[in-house]
Structures are given as structure tokens and as C-alpha cells.
Structure 1
Amino acid sequence: MALVDWEMLPYFLAVARAGSLRAGADLLNANHVTVDRSIKSLEASYGVQLFTRTSRGFEVTDAGEELLPVAEEIEKLITTARHRVEGLDKTEAGTIRFSLPPVLAHDVIAPIIAKFSSTYPEINVELRLTDTQESISRSETDISLRVAYEIDEDTIARKLYPMAIGTFASKEYLKANMPDAGTGGSGLNWIGWTGPGSSPGWVSQSPFPYASLRHSSGDGLMLLSMVRQGCGMSNMPVYFANVYPELEQVPGTEPQLAYYLWILLHSDLRRTVRVRRFVDFLAEELKALQPLMQGSLYRP
């Protein structure tokens, strides 16, 4: 297999999985022009067209379908080799790739990273903020913090505890709008979630089924910011009420324990000292935050 194949196959796989140049580039944290150039180089090397370019995106051709399982097997072998070698690392030094949801990054994880950096000054953490679940098995990241009911990926998964989710709005918003709200929340505004796990019928099943779905966002930080700015009410982790004093639980609602916090890592990396140090440190710090993460529902 020519050198160009080894270099360009990751670009082929990313576009085949994502269905477009830009989405494939996002998977690799690369520029879409670079991805396009790499795909064309690979096609020129093989003398076949691997994708059909359409208005809907990139569709794998018959030749691409033949290449896909071979490329995935090569990716698997390279990933396994990388993890086995990294697993022999016995030093408290080096870089860890860590992916996590953006909404937890600034107020929850950043202080933990600061404490970890002081304790282990030679371990660097490359933070990858994404609501997309980066694959541990395909080596898209080394460690991942997930918020989910269950984990079905073939990884080592450390289950921590369920987070409490409540309905919150700014105090000013509630003061201005709650007294005049009608039955079922009419006159109030919801700010909805359009990211992973969103449900189209959630408003009708909420405590305020007649409130208007005025705004929505697929970015948790943007949703939090709009609530703080008084744009309406939304469901979010109760933890943020401890961070932002302008937030208040909406009267007539109760928090509920929902998604669990999980720490994931590849089985081949469990012997890597820097990875084990980070996972243990992260788990202990998050456990210490459990009373704030669960609010009034916390039971020691």
C-alpha cells in the first residue's frame, strides 16, 4: 500500500462516516479544503472515484464501498498498536486528549483541570469540547466525560451518579412574568434544547404545556446564557443555580434525577500512568461535587 494511502485514509473514513466535507473535517479537527484535497489525492492514487458529489453531500460509490471495510480494519489495527504502546508508558507526563460536553466545561471541569495541573505539572490536557460523542474505540479521544443513561460503546466505563435536572429562569424574568401567567404556563416562554436527546413532544409533557417555545439552541452554554439574560425558562442541571445567583427554580416544578455522569477510556490505556492519574483525579473531584450536582435530591 502506497504512502499516500496511509496518509489519506483517515480523510476518506471521516467523509464516509459524516456524509460531507465540512462534517468530516469537524471529526478530524481539520480544514475542509485539506480534506477535499486529500480525498482527490486518494482517488487519483487508485484511479477511481470514491464519492459522488451531490447537493445533499458526499455519497460513497461502489469503489468506495469496497474500500470502506478495508480502511476500517486498517484504522482498527493502527489504533490497537497505538494504544498498546501508550499503555506501556509509566511516567506522570505527556498529553491526554479529553472530550466533554461544552456546558460542563467552564464552570464544572475548568476548576478541576486547574487543581489537576497543580498536582501533576507535567501532564497536559487537550480539551475537546463537543456534544457529539467522540469514539473511544476509534481513538478520536483518550478519555471522555459523558452524560447519558447507558453506555453501549466497547470501553471501560466508570459510572458516577445521576445529575439532577430542574426548570430554571432568571429571578427578574420570574418577577416580571410569573404573576400574570395563565393556566398551564400560558404567557410564559420556554427555551428548548435542539441537540442530542431532544424530544419533539417535551413541551406538552412539561409542567407548563401552554407556555410558548420561544427560542431554542443546540448549544448548552448558549441556552444557559439566554436563561440568565431573561429570555425564558429552561431545563438544566441544578448545579448552575449554585454558580449563578440570578437563576431561580421556577415555582411549581421539582428537580429530577436524570442522566448519569460517566468517565470512559479505552481498555488499552488503563495501564498508562498519566491516563490513570487523570481518570482517578477527575472521578474524585466530580464525586465531591455530587451534593451540588443533585441539589435537594442529594442523599449521602
Structure 2
Amino acid sequence: MKSSDWELMPAFLAVARAGSLRAGAELLHTNYGTVNRNIQALEASYGVALFVRSTKGFKLTEAGEAVLPFAEQAEQVIINARKRVEGLDKTEAGTLRFSVTPTFAYDVITPIISRFQEAYPDIQVALRLTSAVENINKDETDVSLRAAYDVSGDVVARKLYPMAMGIYASKAYIHTTFAKAGPQGAGLSWIGWPENGPFSNWISQSAFPQADVRHSVSDGYMRLRMLREGCGISPLPVVFEKFFPDLCRVPGTPLEFGQTLWIVLHADLRKTVRIRRFVDFLADALMDLRPDMQGELYRR
């Protein structure tokens, strides 16, 4: 392998995984033209086409399939080396990457970051707001806050506690629309998800199976905004009662425990001082929020 191949290989892996130049460029946070040039240069270096181009995207050729496992192994070796060296860092300084969902980032996490920077002014937090589960072992992030029933894989996961969930609406929506609602929620509107299969099953078992799914949105914070604007009803973590007094749980509906909060990091970063300081600080701050995260279910 030529030395230049190392520089071009990320483009190959990104397009192989994403299936197109543009999607691959998004994975690498670069532009379409750069990825295209790198793919062409790599193919010229090998003297063989690595992808079949079509209107449906990029598909690996036989040669591309042969290269893929070696490229993935090389990528993992580089990532492991980086993590191992970072794990030797003993200073309370530097940058760490932290991924969290937009739903929690703005109101739950921002005050924690503010207090953290006061306590550790030489540690910078590079926030990535995403609802996707980022791959710790693929070096997409250093620390991640996840809501999940379980966490698997070769990662270190600090389990905190399950969050309480309820059915919420704006106080104005409850005052005006619920008075006119029919049996089992007829006349009410759910704010759902684009993939409504599991959500539809959940609706059928809720107190409002006759309410229609009028709107759908994948972004949790947008769903929260729509609730506050009186667009309907939707499940929501109870903690948002603390931040938005214009929202309230639909009368007569219970709180239930949902997914558990986890702080996840790469195993090799456990001894990196800045990572450990941030993880401990984040965990303590979230534990302080536990009564608000669990509402009336706290200590049950």
C-alpha cells in the first residue's frame, strides 16, 4: 500500500458504507468533490475500479469487496492506537467530543456544560447533537449520553437510572381541545414519529386509541416545540415539566418508566483525565436531576 493510500482510504470506506458520494461526504464532514477526487485517485493507484456507478448510487466491485475488510482493519488499528495514546493523557486540559440528542442538549445538558467549564476551564467540550447512536469504537465520539434499555459492544457504559415518561400536551390544548374530545380520545391528535409501526401499537394500548396521528417528526426537540404550540399530545420525559410550565401531563394518565440513561465511552479512554473528569461531573449532575427525571416514580 502506497503512503497516499492511507489518506484516500477514509473516502473509500465512507462511500462503501453510505452508498453514494454525497452521503459519504456527509459522513466525513467534507464536500462531494473532495470525496470524488479521492475515490478516483485510489482507483488509479490500484489500477482497478472499486465501485460500480449507477443512478442508484455506488456499489462495490469484486475488487472493492476484496479491499474493504483490509481497509476496515487498518481503520480500526489507527483508531485503537489513537485511543491508547489518549488514554495515557494525564492532564486536565484538551478537547473531548460529546454526543447527545437535541432533546436533552438545550435544556438539560447546557447548564451542566456551563458549570463544567467553570470547574475545568482548560477542558473544551465539542458537542455533537444527534439522535443517532454514534459508534464509540469507530472514533465518531469520545463520550455519549444515551437513552436505551441496554447497551452492548466493546464500550464502557455507566448506567444511571430509568427515565419516567408520560403523555403531555400544552395546558391550552388540554383546556380547549379535551373538552370537545370523544370517547377514547376521538378528536385529539398525536404528534408521532415518521416510522409509526411501533408507535401505532403503543397508541392502540394507550388511553387514547381513537386519536389520530396528525403530525410526525423525528426530532425530539421539534416534537417538544410542537407540543408547546398546541399541536397535539405526545409521550415526553417528565423532566421537561421542570423547564416548561406551559406543558402538563394529560389528566388521568400515568407515568411509566421508559429507557435508562447511560454514559458511554471507549474503554481505552477510562484513564484519560479530561474524559474521566467530564464523565464523573456529568454523572453527578444527572444524578442530582434524578427526582426531576423520575417525577412521582422517584424512590418507588
TM-score (norm 2): 0.95
Corresponding residue number in structure 1 for 2:130: 130
- The code of the aligned residue for 2:105 comes to A
Corresponding residue number in structure 2 for 1:63: 63
CA offset digits 1:48-95 (Å, max 9, x no partner): 222223333322221111111000100111011101111111100000
CA drift at 1:251: 1.8
Between the aligned partners of 1:169 and 1:299, the Cα distance in structure 2 is 26
Corresponding residue number in structure 2 for 1:41: 41
Between the aligned partners of 2:17 and 2:108, the Cα distance in structure 1 is 32
- 1:265 is aligned to 2:265: yes
1:59 partner SS: strand
Corresponding residue number in structure 1 for 2:189: 189
Corresponding residue number in structure 1 for 2:116: 116
Please say if residues 131 and 196 of structure 1, whose CA atoms lie closer than 8 Å, have aligned partners that are also in contact: no
Distance 1:53 1:203, change over 3 A: farther
CA drift at 1:200: 4.5
Please say if residues 84 and 268 of structure 2, whose CA atoms lie closer than 8 Å, have aligned partners that are also in contact: yes
Deviates more, 1:238-247 or 1:2-11: 2-11
1:285 partner SS: helix
Two-structure CA RMSD over aligned residues (Å): 1.7
Q: Percent identity?
A: 58
- How many residue pairs match? The answer is 300
CA offset digits 1:160-214 (Å, max 9, x no partner): 0001111101111111100111111000000002379954533222221110100
- The code of the aligned residue for 2:167 comes to T
1:194 partner SS: coil
1:291 partner SS: helix
- 1:25 is aligned to 2:25: yes
- The code of the aligned residue for 1:181 comes to A
- The code of the aligned residue for 2:244 comes to Y
CA drift at 1:233: 0.7
Please say if residues 193 and 223 of structure 1, whose CA atoms lie closer than 8 Å, have aligned partners that are also in contact: no
Corresponding residue number in structure 1 for 2:16: 16
Structure 2: gaps spanning 5 or more residues: none
Which consecutive aligned stretches of 4+ in structure 1 deviate over 3 angstroms post-superposition?
Answer: 194-200
Corresponding residue number in structure 2 for 1:72: 72
Please say if residues 155 and 266 of structure 2, whose CA atoms lie closer than 8 Å, have aligned partners that are also in contact: yes
- The code of the aligned residue for 2:285 comes to E
Please say if residues 11 and 35 of structure 2, whose CA atoms lie closer than 8 Å, have aligned partners that are also in contact: yes
Between the aligned partners of 2:29 and 2:257, the Cα distance in structure 1 is 34
Structure 1: gaps spanning 5 or more residues: none
1:209 partner SS: coil
1:203 partner SS: helix
1:201 partner SS: helix
Corresponding residue number in structure 2 for 1:148: 148
CA drift at 1:290: 0.5
Deviates more, 1:30-39 or 1:183-192: 30-39
Between the aligned partners of 1:183 and 1:33, the Cα distance in structure 2 is 57
Between the aligned partners of 1:51 and 1:168, the Cα distance in structure 2 is 49
Between the aligned partners of 1:4 and 1:20, the Cα distance in structure 2 is 22
